[in-house]
Amino acid sequence: MVSKKIELLVGLFAAIGIAALLMLALKVADSGISGSGSTYQLYAKFDNIGGLKVRSPIKVGGVVVGRVSAISLDSEDYTPVVTLDIFAEYNNFSEATSVSILTAGLLGEQYVGLLPGFIHSSVETLQPGDFIEDTKPALVLEELIGQFLFGQGSGD
Lowest-pLDDT choice from 11-15, 78-82, 141-145: 141-145
In this structure, the answer to whether residues 125 and 99 fall within a common structural domain is yes
In this structure, the answer to whether residues 19 and 46 fall within a common structural domain is no
In this structure, the answer to whether residues 133 and 80 fall within a common structural domain is yes
In this structure, the answer to whether residues 8 and 50 fall within a common structural domain is no
The burial of 11, by beta-carbon neighbours within 10 Å (0-12 exposed, 13-18 middle, 19 or more buried), is given as exposed
Q: 155 lies in a domain?
A: no
For 41-76, write each residue's pLDDT tens digit. 999 998 888 888 999 999 998 899 999 999 999 889
For 77-122, write each residue's pLDDT tens digit. 999 999 999 998 888 888 888 999 888 877 778 899 998 877 666 6
146, pLDDT greater than 90: no
In this structure, the answer to whether residues 80 and 106 fall within a common structural domain is yes
3-state secondary structure 81-115: EEEEEEECCCCCCECCCEEEEEECCCCCCEEEEEE
pLDDT at site 149: 82
Strand segments, DSSP code E, in 14-60 are: 39-45, 57-60
Q: 154 lies in a domain?
A: no
pLDDT at site 120: 66
Q: 156 lies in a domain?
A: no
- The residue among 135, 153, 118 whose CA lies nearest residue 82 is 135
Report the alpha-carbon angle 27-21-29, nearest 5: 25
Q: 134 lies in a domain?
A: yes
Under DSSP, is residue 146 helix (H, G, I), strand (E, B) or coil?
helix
In this structure, the answer to whether residues 29 and 70 fall within a common structural domain is no
In this structure, the answer to whether residues 95 and 126 fall within a common structural domain is yes
Cβ–Cβ < 8 Å for 89, 120:
no
- The phi, psi pair for 30, rounded to 5°, reads -65, -45
pLDDT category, 147, cuts 50, 70, 90?
confident
Lowest-pLDDT choice from 4-13, 24-33, 92-101, 126-135: 24-33
d(CA 112, CA 146): 24
pTM above 0.85, yes or no: no
In this structure, the answer to whether residues 3 and 80 fall within a common structural domain is no
In this structure, the answer to whether residues 119 and 68 fall within a common structural domain is yes
In this structure, the answer to whether residues 25 and 97 fall within a common structural domain is no
In this structure, the answer to whether residues 101 and 127 fall within a common structural domain is yes
pLDDT category, 130, cuts 50, 70, 90?
confident
Q: Which residue range(s) make up the domain with 93?
A: 37-147
In this structure, the answer to whether residues 15 and 59 fall within a common structural domain is no
Please state the domain count of the chain: 2
